[in-house]
Structure 1
Amino acid sequence: MLSSLRAAAFGLVLVASPAVAGPQFVDGTGFAVSGYDVVAYRDLEQVPVGQSQPAGIPGRADITAEYNGAVFAFASEENRDRFLADPAFYAPAYDGHCAYGVAKGGKVPGNPNLWRIVDDRLYLNITENVVTFWEEDIPGNLTLSEGNWTGLEPDAASDRVIPQFTSDAPVDG
């Protein structure tokens, strides 16, 4: 009963709230990173550059934490607690926007299934084609991204949808 009330209340908040919350990219799910568990990426086996990463792990709507003006969902309470201990470590770079997009001077959404951890930071990209361009020169693109981010960061979060992406998250547990 309580989770039904919580879900209903959350639904009302979604209807009354815009799709973005602060600088963090938030899509139509109402969650940062489309409701995927940002801690779980650290437990997935990362593949070599040029190969597709494993899919992200969907979070649950009833296991959440707020950070950077957005709600993050988690697959387990343990992951939520790990996140709360150091949210800046787990949150994606560039407020969940595409790393290559930032390198090119703009804010576009990041797809939670197109990820890579580099130097202990989680980066997202928008499409598989973009991943190919980003991976051609990750260090060079990160240098560009870091240089561009200070000017872009104050801008509003992207309000675009992620192309060819259907979210499986968050799910009620």
Structure 2
Amino acid sequence: MTRLVMFLALFISSLAFAQDEIYTGYFSNKALSGYDTVAYFTDQKPVEGSAKYVTEYKGADWYFASQQHLDMFKAEPEKYAPQYGGYCAWAVSAKNDFASADPKDWAVVDGKLYLNYDDDIKRKWDQDPALHIKQADANWPTLIGKP
């Protein structure tokens, strides 16, 4: 029992202080839960990626629906990767904190991809995306330890 308590304390404390730059969830290394980040730009909708088309970028595995999308991402990952590492853009903005994001709650604004936690949070984001982007851009470097 003592070992379990110690393990949980270490696990929880590591979560509190360290966040990966790319959101992948706790039990996966898939960026965007395996959705194809290029598809938001080319298909204007979330499309699930395939295990046939995978690459590693910033410590996460990125899945794509086609070889063409994989090649596009490899050529310009910063163009297609979601802002704020795929964490909820509203949380980075309004709460100055990390929160998971749902790949189905998204927006492309000025050529950049933003994800949000759920439909309710996405509606908050949609009320003033420019303000949220400005706030999140200011908060993000500090959140990831790169002021």
Of the three residues 9, 21, 27, the one matched with 1:23 is 21
Aligned to 1:11: none
Q: Paired residue for 1:88?
A: 78
Q: Give the structure 2 partner of residue 103 of structure 1.
A: 93
Long gaps (5+) in structure 2 = 1-17
- Cα RMSD of the aligned pairs, angstroms, is 1.8
What SS does the corresponding residue of 2:84 show, helix, strand or coil?
Answer: helix
Instruction: Give 1:79's match in structure 2, choosing from 63, 69, 82.
Output: 69
The partner residue of 2:124 within 122, 129, 133 is 133
Instruction: From the superposition, tell whether residues 114 and 144 of structure 1 become closer, same or farther in structure 2 (CA, over 3 Å).
Output: same
TM-score (norm 2): 0.81
1:166 equivalent in structure 2: none
TM-score (norm 1): 0.69
Give distance in 1, aligned partners of 2:124 and 2:38.
26
Aligned-residue offset at 1:21: 8.6
Q: Which of these residues, 106, 130, 142, is aligned with residue 115 of structure 1?
A: 106
Q: How far apart, CA to CA, are the structure 1 residues paired with 2:59 and 2:19? A: 5
Number of equivalent positions? 127
Identity value in percent: 33
Q: Pick 1 or 2: higher relative contact order, CA cutoff 8 A, min separation 6.
A: 1
Query: Residue type of the partner of 1:113?
Result: K
Structure 1 runs of 4+ aligned residues shifted over 4 Å read: none
- Counterpart in 1 of 2:60? 70
Given residue 25 of structure 1, which amino acid in structure 2 is its aligned partner? Y
Note the C-alpha offset of 1:23.
1.6
Structure 1's unaligned 5+ residue stretches are 1-19, 46-53, 156-173
